[in-house]
A and B are shown apart, each in its own frame.
Chain A
Amino acid sequence: MHKFIFLVGAISSLLFLSCNKAPATISASTDFSTLEQSVITDFTNNIALNAYLQLSVNATQLNTALLNLSNNSTDANLLAAQTAWKNMRAVWEQSESHLFGPVEDNDYDPNMDTWPTDYVQMDSVLSSNNALTVQDIQGFTLSLRGFHPIEYIIFGEHGSRTAAELNSRQKTYMISLSADINTSCNDLYLSWASAPVNFAQQVITAGNGSTKYAKRQELLLAITEGMAGICEEVGEGKIQEPFDARNPAIVESPYSGNSTADFKNNIIGISNVYMGLNGGKGLKDLVAAKNKSLDNTIQAQITAAINSFDNITLPFEEAILNQRVQVQQTMDALAILKETIETQLRPFIVQYITD
């Protein structure tokens, strides 16, 4: 009888051992490694390259719309130019959720998106004899280049511009400004898409021959850092500074009334990176594979942050004075999201991306 029990015990042990067979473990880690590569590849193609390509297309459309406005200064053409500007801003602001690589290293950001407006110098420039060629613009200081001087010209104070008000100097200036942006956006796209920089290749081969990212973990931490960074910039900078100071004069993008849309697009950018775009994998796939609860938390917090902007119904310059509760709620939602990214998502990457 004892022998029998021993035999049963031995067979059961063998069964358990076979359940725990090594190949299953290897297969799981191989799958996760494949998933890591998919997330990186899809980030590169669907998020980064796609954003910079779209930005380049939108820059050309803005330039065309401004040329049309210059040649035929109707209010319809002004509206078309304003729409083109806003379309471009949406793509740009979303791309700010992954502000690393050439856009950071080669100062594309300050070249295109410096704030505040330098009214004194702008007036000097417009009343001067400067030819305002693209080369002239590229020699100007940062606050005389990029999106915001164009915004000032085509929207005017509080969006009050009419087509008839535009003078020839403003027209020349805005066209050269947009041509300058066009050049920057093309260069930015090419720095990702082709030699000599080919940054897309550097990203895709992270941990596998990339000279920029020796490990996948480094890249994924850079992506995470970008998400936390934009949360902070929006929540603790762009929103909080004018909110604390109760000062509408320091709100970014005030002429177009586009501030809240800008901020929301920044956070939609985080969603793009986390969730993935166009059916591709996102960081969520990595997180969900190991910690579904954390994935649920992050998804819920991203959604809450994005939706919170919809409660700000007044123009942002007014909201900081008259919708302070709603603005505060948005700041709170962003602070919570940033905290989760820094204290949970980041450690997750360190723990599980172990190449």
Chain B
Amino acid sequence: MKKWRVIIGLVLVVAVFIRCNKVSVFAESGYDNRLSGGIATVFDETSKAFSHVIEGLTARDAAVHQTGDKAFEQTFVTAPAPVNSGLGPVFNNVSCISCHHNDGKGTPTAGFITSSLLFRISIAGTDAHGGPMPAEGFGGQLQDLAIFGRQPEVKVNISYTNLPFTYPDGNQVVLRQPAYQVTNAYRLLPAGYMISPRLAPPVFGLGLLENIPEATLLAFTDINDANGDGISGKANYVFNAHTNSMQIGRFGLKANTADILTQAAGAYQQDMGITNYVFKQESSYSQLQHDGLSDDPELADSLLNAVAFYIKTLAVPARRNVTDAGIKKGEYLFQQINCTGCHIATIQTGVNIGLPQISNQRIHPYTDLLLHDMGEGLADNRPDYLATGSEWRTAPLWGIGLFEKTNGIPFYLHDGRARTIEEAILWHGGEATAAKEQFINLSQADRNCLINFIKSL
């Protein structure tokens, strides 16, 4: 009898413990939804909100981050020089920070030292890896500045046409449609050239985005729109010059770059004319403006790595006002009208044993990193690997409410045409048409709730 008591007792204990352990999903309400970047979140809503290192790096990693931070701000000068040598001969800007203002976005002008807008160029066809076909004499990007005595490749004039928009409730908004005129080309532009404007995007949180498993992104794809919601979603596959392989694209406004290192290396070489171990030749190689110096690579390998690490370890700013009733309603509406069809709220990052802060984090980037047809209004009509002329990568929305702080005057969308979040929403088309139409038909109060929710990100 005693034996039985013991056995029954043990069974009960085991059963109770198993039951205790049963919960497999942590309740949604148990998470703090201010933590947009999981543990890699920072609480700051000043103009420096995008510029913080994620907490808890090792001393060595923190030192590399700091080295990268300083390098990100360095102004390059003409070679040969004792420091920061190698600017140009043709370029778009003189430092990383000049375009990525406060590690965020910049100003949609071109050809000035305060500009953050650049233009890609290509002609019909594809290169050896399926990427855009470079334009002879110009490559893949138009450098609209040059060192003294050299000629910039082009000048691009930007003009805007006002497009009034009226809501069903009678409220009006004026959108502005940009037009680009390429002038002063240093040589004849090729026939049928295509250009695409690209406003410098924010650089925080990219370590987390880089750490999302490819399988997770592919699970978001719905190329044939099997669920019939009008949203497809396609991964871009692009050539990575660093790994010499085709990889899923995550970065760049058309997801045409696979990883942070290649993005940074490309920006050094194309935007500033600073050669490095990934891109060893000047952007002007074989062109008339080429400097003819044999000083390549102009950037120390360790500095490129440090800058890539700096970007990888920039924290995501926390959400604000998450308990506000209006903002909670906006969040509900955001889901209800299916903005979340592309702007996916919650993603789990993969395991990264080297950097625990970006490993296995529950993040809220509000992107799927996939390509979507955004309609004629936003089309650049220039393919980029698998991206068609009307497809763009879903922009991450985290931090978007702080653009006013980091940039003084905020600008939105790939070319900065939108001056408000409302304008940006109204430019959505293509796969986002249904969501936009529902937004338009909301009451003004509800529209404001939805916009205020986005501002809280």
Contacts and interface: CB of A to CB of B under 8 A. Distances in A.
A147 to B, nearest CB: 13
B83 interface: yes
A198 B108 CA distance: 23
A116 B81 contact: yes
A329 B81 CA distance: 31
A121 B78 contact: yes
Interface string A150-183: 0000000000000000000000000000000000
Nearest to B409: A105
Given A124-B78, A218-B45, 10 more contacts: A105-B407, A110-B75, A116-B77, A118-B81, A119-B77, A120-B80, A142-B75, A218-B46, A249-B83, A250-B82
A176 to B, nearest CB: 15
Q: Quick one: which of A130, A141, A236 has the most chain B CB within 10 A? A: A141
A237 B114 contact: no
B199 to A, nearest CB: 16
Nearest to B85: A120
B68 to A, nearest CB: 13
Contacts of B48: 225, 229
Contacts of A140: 148
Interface residues of B, number: 30
B70 A143 contact: no
In this complex, the interface size class of chain A, counting residues with CB under 8 Å from chain B, is: 35 or more
B75 A116 contact: yes
Contact of B148 (A102, A111, A144, A221): A144
Contact of A120 (B81, B94, B407, B408): B81
A60 B344 CA distance: 55
Interface SS of chain A: helix, strand, loop or mixed?
helix
A140 B145 CA distance: 10
Contacts of B407: 105
Interface string B108-148: 00000110000000000000000000000000000001011
Q: Quick one: which of A125, A225, A236, A249 has the most chain B CB within 10 A? A: A225
Nearest to A245: B83
A222 B405 CA distance: 10
B44 A118 contact: no
A141 B113 contact: yes
B78 A118 contact: yes
A128 interface: yes
A24 B282 CA distance: 71
Contact of A117 (B44, B47, B77): B77
Contacts of A352: none
A222 B44 CA distance: 9
B113 A110 contact: yes
A124 B94 contact: no
A116 B47 contact: no
A241 interface: yes
A114 interface: yes
B415 to A, nearest CB: 20
Contacts of B102: 104
Nearest to A251: B83
A120 B79 contact: yes
A107 interface: yes
B42 to A, nearest CB: 12
B87 interface: yes
Nearest to A107: B114
A120 B409 contact: no
B147 A143 contact: no
Given A107-B114, A141-B94, A237-B70, A120 B47 contact: no
B153 to A, nearest CB: 16
B98 interface: yes
Nearest to A100: B47
A121 B77 contact: yes
Contacts of A104: 47, 102, 408
Contact of B94 (A119, A143, A237, A249): A143
Contacts of B348: none
A221 B46 contact: yes
A106 interface: yes
- The list of the 10 closest CB pairs from A to B, nearest first, reads A105-B408, A118-B77, A120-B78, A249-B82, A222-B46, A124-B148, A225-B46, A121-B148, A107-B114, A121-B78
Contacts of A111: 113
B449 to A, nearest CB: 17
A222 B47 contact: yes
A120 B46 contact: no
A107 B101 CA distance: 9
B83 A118 contact: no
8 contacts: A102-B408, A105-B408, A107-B114, A116-B81, A124-B148, A141-B87, A142-B113, A249-B83
A106 B408 contact: yes
A130 B148 CA distance: 10
A105 B148 CA distance: 27
B402 to A, nearest CB: 11
Contact of A114 (B75, B80, B83, B404): B75
A120 B149 CA distance: 11
A119 to B, nearest CB: 6
A142 B44 contact: no
B47 A225 contact: yes
Interface string A121-151: 1001100101000000000111110000000
Contacts of A117: 77
B83 A125 contact: no
B66 interface: yes
B84 interface: yes
Nearest to A350: B43
Q: Quick one: which of B102, B145, B148, B407 has the most chain A CB within 10 A? A: B148
